[in-house]
Structure 1
Amino acid sequence: MEKAMRLDRYLVEMKKGSRSEVKKMIKSGRVSVDGETCREAERKIQPSASEVSLDGTQVGYAAYEYFMLNKPAGVVSATEDGRHKTVVSLIEDAKRRDLFPVGRLDIDTEGLLLITNDGKLAHRLLSPKKHVDKTYFARVEGRLPENAIEQFKEGLTLEDGTRTLPARLVIQKASGTAEDDGKADSSLSEIELTIHEGKFHQVKRMFEAVGCRVVYLKRLSMGSLRLDESLAPGAYRRLTEEEISKLQGEGDSGDERGLLSGKRAYLFDLDGTLVDSMWMWGAIDIEYLGKFGIPCPKDLQKAIEGMSFTETAVYFKERFSLPDSLEQIKADWTAMSIENTGQKCR
């Protein structure tokens, strides 16, 4: 049975104003429920069954929204940013205010980005144990090694010592060759790369590990979802029911236990974090803040001691002015903790 929801929360989630603004609207008689004026902000309604109107216009409800965006360069993969336009701000006809990007593309990277408020789906797509394929097109400066395909297939060691999972490299055009029209830049290679994880700047770092440099990067697909070629940079569309259904099944075809395979048990707190996992969080804090170019303060562990998972996310967002939503922060932490746990338990 659908869970009842307060009227003011319904309107806030549907982007009709802040909580205080919505309460004023309701109190002034601008809101009706099932054809009758309602002045009670706390009234409980059924989101999908109740007919809510504001100033005579019906306010439809959407529990979840899913958008495919062709991210342009110059836009940041975040919900808020003080300097740059965000990918969420490009979605002009969204009903909900809690959308976030599933994963990140660098500011200069283009291509497929899923925008949603479905945290469960985001975790499924980003979790290292699911090994969801992500395919990129890139133009690469420098001569690729003759055995580049084999090196990527075996997995690479990045400059900082991090080992990547095996990846599939397809060389569409090697540097030193030109297209028939004679206009192509023969100093660049053109490749397609499929990876199964999402480490920080991973594609760029993988090519740096073989002595090359990525000068253009575009994501083509993520799992079953492939970029709609009809979408110009900056354009978007809603996902079809078929696309959503396929994404929700990502990662189910293999060993569903993933990193838990062969382990007798893992214990989790009620908030979803690993019990006795403090050994990893210091390193995760350093890596996570490093993605934003923020050094990890020495007092951080002391400051967050005793906080719940959600309270810690709120603290991080406020203290470090993080652009990501709380859902995105927690999804990133969960994926990183699973990856760290898997590496220690292997």
Structure 2
Amino acid sequence: MLKQFFITCSGADTDILESCSKGEQNKYAGIGATVFFTAVMAFIASSYALYTVFDNIFTSIFFGFIWGLLIFNLDRFIVSTIKKRDSFSHELLQATPRIILAIIIAIVISKPLELKIFQKEIDQVLLEEKNQMTLDNKEQIALQYTPVIEKLNNEITGLKREVSDKEAEVNDLYDTYISEAEGTAGTFKLGKGPVYKEKREKHDASLQELQQLREANAQKIQDRETQIATLSSEYSEKVNNTQPVIDGFDGLMARINALGKLPWLPSFFIFLLFLAIETSPIIAKLLSPRGEYDHKLEDQESAVKTWVAQKEDQRKQVLATDVVINDKVYQDISEEEELYTYKREKARSMMQLQADAFYEHQKRNL
């Protein structure tokens, strides 16, 4: 039963093959097995590729099965249509479209296997890319907030400097009126005279201004620090919201791109392996010697071709004979006097009717 199944897979005419030797049957069973297992490999590879896309095992198996059937039907059709003749170049020409298609299919179905084989290396490449993307993402988001935060920090620094400058001014006034009281500066008179009072009043006024400035700038600094905290919170929230997108950067296209960054030689050999698998049904048919089945198939096709040619020739002869007979019949009829008289009367009646109609038409116009 298994042998019969593989023969069916080969696309051979089972009626003709049953009359052939066991060796010939085994040859086509081997070709059919190659067609079948090529479709199985296509099913496995395409199912894995689709699983990386849909992330659903049932959907992947379903569409992978459809793809396997497509490859099976295509290989079976191509193998069955390659006729073993005396010209190898003619057979190769028949197989050329399938070989080109096999290259395309090999590229498509070899990639999923490469992704599985080099999964750890691809994960490492993706990890490095994700880390770099995280840093780039933070820098890009920071560009939206850093200028504003820096501006606020500069304003806070300016407000603090303003208070420091005022404090220095108050301290200088304090030293001035103390020195005046001690007689070490100013008028150089010991005691609290009018000049001392004037400088003391100036210091006290400046000290009051310092207190007001501290309170006002403290409120401004607090407002700006609140804005900075809000912006920092928004920055952190935006980074957290965009991070899942980066973490999910491991789809099929991302993995294929990561695979492209790995050394090409191992991937190339895997591609050659699948190319060999995909072209194996065609190669098996091309390399197989012309056997008993091929001779019988050619004999059957030749018999049908001869029979069709005979029927076509007979139809041509019948048509030619019928034309000759019809010409002779019409020639004999044309010489009959009775037919001539009848057609002459009909023609005269027709011309009379035309003349009457023309006369009536002209009469109406006048």
- TM-score scaled by structure 1? 0.23
- TM-score scaled by structure 2? 0.22
More strand by share: 1
More helix by share: 2
Max radius of gyration: which structure? 2
